[in-house]
Amino acid sequence: MEVNEQLIQAITRAVVEQLRRNGVQPPYGQNAQKPSEPGVNTLAGKTRMRPKHSYEGAQKAPQGTDPKEIVIGVGAAFQTEIRSTITGIPLEEVIRNVKAGIEEEGMTSRVVKVLDTSDVGFMALKSAKLSGSGIGIGIQSKGTTVIHQKDLYPLTNLELFPQAPLMTLETYRRIGRNAARYAKGEMVTPIESVNDPTVRAKYQVKAALMHIIETEQLDPDKGMIPWEDGDKR
């Protein structure tokens, strides 16, 4: 298939429209001219896809001490700039199911927003180090997820779920259950790996745009802050 400027523009328009339907604001204002209009460069003079979100007054999340606690670290754009995963699963439902899985195993959870990295492995590791149990879960806004343990190397996690388009609410619930079992020191059967070689090509542009939106919302000085379901601060 020939890849030319017209094809790239068509793909970009399709991606932006899908992002809009999924609750992600495209990189132009509601009343601005759109890329379908000839001769218009909608990114001219712009340095960001979205305005910088302010967390003024937010306190850093405290270190956990409860051995039954699992910290869920979510991405910097989670429930603010991005409301749904890459396939349109509402992020509030993602969190609800992860927490439900944890609670089913008799453990407790705490949600924090990670503002100093958009790498899901480091998000999970930082959450594990903050957690009273030493187990953490990292969730990027597009849906990619990692279960981590505080004394492991960043790339040596407990379980990795790299293909966000294949994630379901049942998967997120099982992730919560497995994280709780790791925290209890039980034998854990890792969740079966699901792979689709066509996913990368199908979602690559959309994933890149969502990651850009997430990364540009980082605020390293804030580190990790407490985050409740549906928080719109």
pTM over 0.85: no
Judged by DSSP in three states, 227 sits in coil
Compare 22 and 91 and report the one with higher pLDDT: 91
CA angle 95, 185, 144 (to 5 degrees): 30
Q: Give yes or no for residue 36 having a pLDDT over 90.
A: no
Compare 17 and 88 and report the one with higher pLDDT: 88
Burial of 59 by CB count in 10 Å (0-12 exposed, 13-18 middle, 19+ buried)? exposed
**Whole-number Cα distances in Å, 228 to 34, 42, 47, 80, 99:** 35, 34, 30, 12, 12
Across the chain, how many H-helices and E-strands are there? Answer: 5, 6
Band (pLDDT 50/70/90 cuts) for residue 147 is very high
Q: Give yes or no for residue 8 having a pLDDT over 70.
A: no
Q: Give yes or no for residue 44 having a pLDDT over 50.
A: no
Sign of the Cα torsion 185, 192, 107, 226 reads positive
Band (pLDDT 50/70/90 cuts) for residue 197 is confident
Q: Considering only the top CATH level, what class is 69-226?
A: alpha beta
